[in-house]
Amino acid sequence: MGYLDNSSVTVDAVLTKKGRELLAKGQLNITKFAFGDDEIDYNLWDPNHELGSNYYGQAIENLPMLEAFSNDPQSLKYKLITLPKNTQILPVVTLAESSVILTTPGMSSVLSPQTSNISNGNQQLGYTFTIANADIVELAAQQLPSNTAIINTSHTPDGNQSSHTIRALKASVIARSITTTQTTTLTITANETGGSITVPITVNADTVLTSGQSAQ
């Protein structure tokens, strides 16, 4: 009779850049979790493994994992989701725009992600919009999901190039006044069905800035 394996799965977490920022402000309050599988390539799943079904996932399970990184907008890009057991078609999140270019300060573009293959997908909890550098782009909710508990915060540019997150069904990105043309990314994550889209947002330099005028 062998010994039972009593090792439990215990992992150490690291704060993201956003987490450190919130901790410094005394506003770190973790309330929920999600699972991710960013590094997993399901092409490595081998249903033809000659040793049988217990070994289909061998190539994936032997994969050594990288350490966590703290760039919050790009972490957990792919999330595990809950769907009925016999689901054969996964919800797909799409966005009409593949990129956004904002040429003048104050110029905006409304982004309206859609979820297909499921009725009323994400209507209850909406989408999470995360702009990686909120110093150059302002995020504003255009249509809130039906869950009335959702409250969004605003972000004041502080020169730290920190991210800003809101939840909405539709959101607009609004160019701030900046001195040099910059590009950042907007990540849209579906709060119910999972799935995310990342689009580059380019903000052109404000050409009418005068000497001595400050810009973020």
Partner 1 sequence: MTAFTNFDLEDIVEGNIAKNVTSTIFSGGAGSLGVNGVHTSSTQTSSAAAEYYWDIYDKNPSDAAAEVQYQIAYGHYAGSGSILPTGLTEGLTPTRAVYSQFRNLLIENPTPTTKFTMGDSANTTCDRMMFISFNRARFKEQIDVGNWSLTLSGSTEFYSHSITLIDDSSQTTGTTENGHKVYNIISGSGTTPSVNGDTSAYEYWGKIYPELGILALNGDRVAGNISNTGASAASQRSQNLYLLNGADSSGTSDHINEKMHWAIKSGSYFSGRADENVSSTHFFVRAKNSKYNFTTNETFKTGSAGQLRHASMNGDPQVYISTVGLYNDANELCAVAKLSKPLLKNFEREATIRVKLDY
Restricting to residues 182-201, name those near partner 1 by CB under 8 A.
Answer: 189-196
Of 80 and 110, which CB lies nearer to partner 1 in the complex structure? 80
Q: In terms of C-beta density within 10 A (0-12 exposed, 13-18 middle, 19 or more buried), how is residue 126 classed? A: buried
In the region spanning residues 136 to 155, those forming contacts with partner 1, defined by CB under 8 A, are 151-153
Give the pair of three-digit tokens for residue 134.
């909120």
Query: Is the separation of the CB atoms in 112 and 169 below 8 Å?
Result: yes
State yes or no: residue 40 binds partner 1 (CB under 8 A). Answer: yes
Tell me how far, at minimum, the Cβ of 216 lies from partner 1, in Å.
20
Q: Which stretch binds partner 1 (CB under 8 A): 6-14, 101-109, 168-176, 201-209?
A: 6-14
Is the Cβ of residue 169 or residue 190 nearer to partner 1 in the bound state? 190
Alpha helices (H) along 105-174: none
Rg of the chain in Å (alpha carbons): 21
Q: Among residues 7 and 207, whose Cβ is nearest to partner 1?
A: 7
Token pair listed for 43: 């092409």
Residue that has been written with the tokens 């309330």 in this structure: 31
Q: Which of residues 75-114 bind partner 1 (CB under 8 A)?
A: 75-76, 78-83, 85-93
Sole residue written with tokens 């702009």: 131
Nearer to partner 1, 105 or 126 (CB): 126
Q: Which stretch binds partner 1 (CB under 8 A): 95-103, 135-143, 163-171, 202-210?
A: 163-171
What distance in Å separates the CA atoms of residue 9 and residue 118, rounded to the nearest whole number? Answer: 34
Among 29, 207, 210, 214, binds partner 1 (CB under 8 A): 29
| Residues of this chain, 109-138, that bind partner 1 according to CB under 8 A | 116-117, 125, 128, 130
- 82 three-state secondary structure: coil
Phi, psi for residue 92 in degrees, rounded to 5: -125, 130
Which of 5, 61, 96, 211: binder of partner 1 (CB under 8 A)?
Answer: 61
CB of 171 vs partner 1, minimal distance in Å: 13
Residue 117 CA: distances (Å) to CA of 59, 78, 122, 188: 30, 18, 12, 18
